[in-house]
Amino acid sequence: MNYRSQIESQFQGKAFERPLFYKHPGGLRFELSEGGTMLEQFLVALRKATEICSEIFLERETITLCLRLWVHENYFNIRKTLAELKKVGIVIPKKREVWLEPIDTSEFLDDDVPQWELSIVFKVPKNLLQNILWCALSCDFGWIQPKVPAMFYMFNLEAKIMIWPYDDRGMDVVGPNPAALERLYTRFSTYLLEYDREVMDQTFAPSRPL
C-alpha cells in the first residue's frame, strides 16, 4: 500500500496543511483540556481524546499513524524521537513509508541551514491509541514524560477520517465522510470547541421547522 498517495488522494493534497480544521471545511474541532491544575488539564484532555478516537477506530484493529518532524542535516533529533517512542511502546516497523519535504525558513530564520519535514507512516495496533495521544498532548507540559518531539496524525483510511490532536487544548477531525463526522458531532457535542461551534452547526445541526 502506498500510504502517501492514498492520504493525498483522500485529503486533496492538504492533509498536513495547518490549521487543519480551516483547510478542510465540514470538519470538527474538539476542545480537550479544561480548568484545574496542569495535571488535571492533561488528564482530562487525554480522556476526551481517547473517547473520541476510540469511536473513530471502533471497527478497526489498527491505526495508520503519521509522524511529522523537522530534521536538519545531521538528523540528530530523529534518534531522540525513536528513543522516546520506544518508551511508550511504539516501534516503527520495517513496513513503513518515509518521505522528506523541504521547509522554507527564510521568513522566520536568519541562517541558511537546510531543513526538511520528515514524514513516517506506518500501522500500529489499536491498543496503542492512548500511548499515541499521550505523546501528542504532552507537548506543552515540560514536566510530563515521556515526550516525543514530533507531530502525530492518525488516519482511519478505510473510513476516510483524519485526526490531528495538536496539543492539550484541542483536536481536529476531518475527512470526506460526512456521515461519520455527523455521528461524532452528535455523540460528542459537549466536547466541540465553542469558538467554532457556529461553523460546525451550519454543517451538521438538524434543520429546525419554521
Q: How confident is the model at residue 73 (pLDDT cuts 50, 70, 90)?
A: low
Backbone angles phi, psi at 5, to 5 degrees: -65, -35
Q: How confident is the model at residue 107 (pLDDT cuts 50, 70, 90)?
A: low
- Entry field: residues in the chain: 210
pLDDT in tens, 155-203: 999 999 999 999 888 999 999 999 999 999 999 999 999 999 999 999 9
pLDDT in tens, 135-160: 999 987 777 888 898 999 999 999 99
C-alpha 122/C-alpha 94 separation (Å) is 9
Q: Find out whether 174 and 28 touch, Cβ atoms under 8 Å.
A: yes
Q: Which residues of 94-126 are buried (b: 16+ CB within 10 A; e: fewer)?
A: eeebeeeeeeeeeeeeeeeeeebebbbbbbbee
